[in-house]
Amino acid sequence: MIIEPRTRGFICLTSHPVGCEQNVINQIEYVKSKGKIEGAKKVLVIGASTGFGLASRISSAFGSDAATIGVFFDKPATEGRPGSPGFYNTAAFEKQAIAAGLYAKSINGDAFSNEIKEQVVNLIKEDLGQVDLVIYSLASPVRTHPVTGKRYKSVLKPIGDVFSNKTVDFHTGKVSEISINPAEGEDVENTINVMGGEDWKMWMDALQSENLLAEGATTVAYSYIGPEVTKPVYRNGTIGAAKDHLEATAFTIADDLKSIGGKAFVSVNKALVTQASSAIPVIPLYISLLYKVMKAKGIHEGCIEQIQRLYSERLFGGDLALDEKGRIRVDDWEMREDVQAEVNKLWKTATTENLSEIGDLEGYSNDFYNLFGFKVDGVDYDADVNEVVNVPSIQ
Ligand code: NAD
Ligand code: NA
């Protein structure tokens, strides 16, 4: 079939298998171009099909020749209906990994559940024996608690006061003023339940109790801080409370791993266009200004550049450069004083009329379409493609 983008707000209902494949190939080529990383050899990535998790899987496989197991929650294609991008990405990843002689298996299902943890535990036992790196990169709006069965929904709200600021509809370029009401009822606890660290610890407990973590194993989860303008809705909001919990959990897990000489870290990453971040109000405007400034300074990075740098310079580069709260910071270039000062200045003047000039709306929009395999260079979108693509290890 011929597949075209069909967008509804900040989601795209279709995705393109050839475009997704090309994105994965481009990421692999990038990692290979940067040379070998003396990193982990047996890697579990939870949230492995898009964004930072996919970049982590690619960096491990093609930077360190690692065997990888990837866990994600995606929709396979059916006749006449394209699958979700993570499914196509994973199909492409496995194809490339197999061609390179690398072990790669994937599990598609709810990572929050006991069933999926059990499947992964069994797969590691059968195939790898132990893992030496666990990347935790889930981004989800809901979580069903595996013990109580209760379904929690996360929200993106400020805490305390109404937050008003500018935002942009990145499809139309229209800048407008929005007001977001503060969290109420159990909003904060619910968001912590979904995006906090409880599930990460459950994964690590499950792996450690079965002796599936190698001596010196490391685990890393991803967090975000961001600028002053998004603080009320991000870091000081409900999602920030969940990130505080995630970051605190790193210390709990680190204690648990002491007996095997293991380590647990949070890495604070840069703001990037992903399915998760497009849904957060105010952030798209910030990102479009940030991209403009960082590109002009020659320091723009995408997910793959971020994770390749995280691995080569921090995790396996001998200098973790932890901040005062014990976190790895690859948002260091985003948070540079000169970058933030310029973004701030632009923020004050941004309007519908000038945004296409002072911001990188085009870059934002392009990255958004790229997430779904559209507008990828070199792909013929008029060609008939087979929408049903299988992930080799999932048949
Ligand atoms: P993403 O949406 O691209 O990736 C999320 C992954 O989680 C996908 O592989 C998806 O399949 C998987 N997933 C979601 N729910 C699942 C479930 N129930 N079971 C199994 N898999 C599930 O998101 P992302 O932007 O790469 O975010 C990953 C992490 O990085 C998050 O913790 C996020 O907060 C953090 N982060 C994001 C940004 C940003 O700007 N995008 C910046 C810094 C940190
Ligand atoms: Na991810």
Confirm whether 234 is a catalytic residue.
yes
Any idea which residue has 């890393």 for tokens? 220
179, containing H or E segment? strand 174-180
Helix (H, G, I), strand (E, B) or coil at 357: helix
Which residues does residue 70 pair with via DSSP β-bridges, in sequence order?
45, 106
User: Which ligand 1 atom lies nearest to the CA of residue 272?
Assistant: 40
C-alpha to C-alpha distance for 224 and 269, rounded to whole angstroms: 6
358's tokens: 């002072």
Residues 6+ positions from 168 with CB-CB distance below 8 Å: 174, 175, 176, 284, 285, 288, 350, 355, 359, 361
Question: Distance of alpha carbon 341 from its chain centroid, rounded?
Answer: 26
- Is the Cβ atom of 222 under 6 angstroms away from ligand 1? yes
Distance 357 CA to ligand 2 centre (A): 31
User: Can you say whether the dihedral through the CA atoms of 244, 137, 191, 252 is positive or negative?
Assistant: negative
- Residue-wise pLDDT for 257-286, tens only, equals 999 999 999 999 999 998 778 888 899 999
- Is the Cβ atom of 137 under 6 angstroms away from ligand 1? yes
Query: Strands 42-46 and 67-72: what pairing?
Result: parallel
- Is the Cβ atom of 106 under 6 angstroms away from ligand 1? no
Determine the pLDDT at residue 230. Answer: 94
Crossing angle for the helix pair 238-257 and 198-209, nearest 10 degrees?
20
Do 159 and 237 meet the contact criterion of CB atoms below 8 Å apart? Answer: yes
Ligand nearest to the CA of 73: 1
| Angle, alpha carbons 337-342-348 (nearest 5°) | 125
Any idea which residue has 């805490």 for tokens? 159
Query: Strands 104-108 and 7-8: what pairing?
Result: unpaired
Could you give phi then psi for residue 116, rounded to 5 degrees?
-70, -40
- Residue-wise pLDDT for 91-146, tens only, equals 999 999 999 999 999 999 999 999 999 999 999 999 999 999 999 999 999 999 99
- Is the Cβ atom of 274 under 6 angstroms away from ligand 1? yes
Residues 6+ positions from 298 with CB-CB distance below 8 Å: none
Segment 292-298 long-range contacts (CB within 8 Å, at least 24 positions apart):
292/346, 292/358, 292/359, 292/360, 292/363, 293/339, 293/342, 293/343, 293/346, 294/333, 294/334, 294/339, 295/360, 295/363, 297/338, 297/339
> Rg for the chain (alpha carbons), in Å?
20
Give the up-direction half-sphere exposure of residue 202: CA atoms within 13 A in the CB hemisphere: 19
Q: List the residue whose alpha carbon is closest to atom 30 of ligand 1.
A: 222
Ligand nearest to the CA of 274: 1
Q: List the residue whose alpha carbon is closest to atom 26 of ligand 1.
A: 51
C-alpha to C-alpha distance for 374 and 254, rounded to whole angstroms: 41
User: Can you say whether the dihedral through the CA atoms of 14, 16, 19, 25 is positive or negative?
Assistant: positive
Which stretches in the chain have pLDDT values below 50? Answer: none
Distance 49 CA to ligand 2 centre (A): 6
Tell me whether residue 110 is annotated as binding. yes
ipTM of the complex: 0.98
Helix (H, G, I), strand (E, B) or coil at 138: coil
User: Which ligand 1 atom lies nearest to the CA of residue 74?
Assistant: 11
Do 183 and 231 meet the contact criterion of CB atoms below 8 Å apart? Answer: no
Could you give phi then psi for residue 28, rounded to 5 degrees?
-60, -45
The pTM (predicted TM-score) of the whole model is: 0.98
Distance 58 CA to ligand 2 centre (A): 12
Determine the pLDDT at residue 198. Answer: 98
C-alpha to C-alpha distance for 307 and 63, rounded to whole angstroms: 11
Q: Pick the catalytic residue from 30, 88, 234, 311.
A: 234
7-155+189-281+296-335 CATH fold: Rossmann fold (3.40.50)
Closest CA to 137 of 359, 387, 310: 310
Distance 116 CA to ligand 1 centre (A): 17
Alpha-helix runs per DSSP H in 77-236? 85-99, 114-123, 187-195, 198-209
Do 364 and 284 meet the contact criterion of CB atoms below 8 Å apart? Answer: yes
